[in-house]
């Protein structure tokens, strides 16, 4: 799989999601299914994407006691997603349980740890009792994820360069918060352009509204793919 682009299907409408997949395939090889779409439509949306020959980044951010996460990962892996997320704030035992569950069922799904959401900044971290800088918190969580055996992490583009230096070349970094130049008027705070994120060390970039809300989604996706090749 050569393309670094993952397109986020941020909708709860199966028809809208299927239409976007049809418009963007085969140029786009991976689509993100998050909690909004999965909660509304369930596994059928994963099957619909896979039937188009594309892969699924199942972004459900599991965060619970280790036993519960273990069973959730086993269930999710039965759908054969390319990637599945758990939240690193669940701690090392929970992360290890997720990896063990994936290995137990013999799945090839990459388990990725979400670090600090791209909607959060230093002030909001302090609100929830995290006193270190964003970079420090993300780095700490990323190192814990690697030690627990995860395949990679999800982190904002602004932390990618520092993370890549500390985590090595084989650890996967998936980067949301990719935005074109100019204001988007949304809730993403720690953002960056697609080319810059890849140059900083991201393996994959996640793009939603700049593609799905574009007048010509296919052209918008192709432009990003070309920028990051």
- H, E, C per residue of 41-66: HCCHHHHHHHHCCCEEEEEEEECCCH
Count of structural domains, the chain = 1
* Calpha distance 137→122 (Å, rounded): 10
Higher pLDDT, 120 or 192: 192
Q: What is the pLDDT of residue 76?
A: 98
Average pLDDT (52-80) is 98
Domain with residue 81: its CATH number is 3.20.20.70
Alpha-carbon span 14 to 48, nearest angstrom: 9
Residues 6+ apart with CB under 8 A from 73: 62, 84, 86, 97, 98, 101, 102, 111
29 contacts: CB under 8 Å, gap ≥ 6: 1, 2, 3, 5, 54, 55
Predicted confidence band of residue 183 (pLDDT cuts 50, 70, 90): very low
CA R_g for the chain: 17
**pLDDT tens digits for range 111-135:** 999 987 767 677 777 777 776 687 7
Residue 179 scores a pLDDT above 60: yes
4, 32, 61, 146: the active-site residue: 61
CA distances from 15 to 20, 21, 33, 111, 209 (A): 9, 10, 14, 28, 17
Average pLDDT, the chain: 90
The pLDDT confidence band at residue 180, using thresholds 50, 70 and 90, is: low
Q: Tell me, what's the pLDDT at 186?
A: 47
Q: Verify whether residue 32 is a known catalytic residue.
A: no
Show the CA angle centred on residue 157, arms to residues 151 and 161, nearest 5°.
75
Q: Tell me the sheet residues that pair with 56.
A: 31
CB atoms within 10 A of CB 50: 16
- Asked whether the beta carbons of 56 and 82 are under 8 A apart, the reply is yes
Confidence of residue 190 (pLDDT cuts 50, 70, 90): very low
Show the domain range for 59: 5-228
Torsion of CA 14, 178, 200, 116, to 10 degrees: -80
Model-wide pTM > 0.95: no
- The whole-number pLDDT of residue 131 equals 66
Which range among 56-70, 130-144, 169-183 has the greatest average pLDDT? 56-70
DSSP state of 178: B
151, 168 in Cβ contact below 8 A? Answer: no
Structure confidence by residue, pLDDT tens digits, 35-46: 999 999 999 999
**What residues form DSSP beta bridges with 110?**
83
């Amino acid at each position: 799989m050569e393309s670094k682009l993952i397109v986020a299907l941020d909708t709860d409408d199966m028809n809208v999601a299927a239409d976007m997949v049809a418009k963007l395939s085969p140029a786009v090889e991976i689509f993100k299914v998050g909690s909004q779409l999965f909660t509304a439509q369930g596994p059928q949306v994963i099957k619909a994407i896979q039937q188009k020959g594309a892969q699924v980044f199942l972004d459900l951010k599991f965060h619970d006691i280790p036993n519960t996460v273990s069973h959730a990962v086993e269930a999710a892996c039965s759908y054969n997603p390319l990637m599945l997320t758990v939240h690193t704030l669940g701690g090392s035992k929970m992360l290890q349980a997720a990896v063990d569950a994936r290995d137990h069922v013999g799945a090839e799904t990459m388990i990725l740890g979400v670090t600090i959401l791209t909607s959060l900044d230093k002030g909001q971290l302090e609100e929830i009792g995290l006193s270190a800088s964003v970079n420090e918190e993300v780095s700490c969580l990323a190192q814990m994820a690697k030690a627990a055996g995860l395949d990679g992490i999800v982190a904002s583009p602004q932390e990618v360069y520092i993370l890549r230096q500390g985590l090595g070349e084989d650890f996967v970094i998936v980067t949301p918060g990719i935005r074109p130049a100019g204001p988007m008027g949304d809730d993403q705070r720690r953002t960056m352009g697609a080319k810059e994120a890849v140059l900083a060390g991201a393996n994959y970039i996640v793009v939603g509204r700049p593609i799905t809300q574009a007048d010509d989604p296919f052209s918008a996706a192709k432009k990003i793919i070309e920028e990051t090749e």
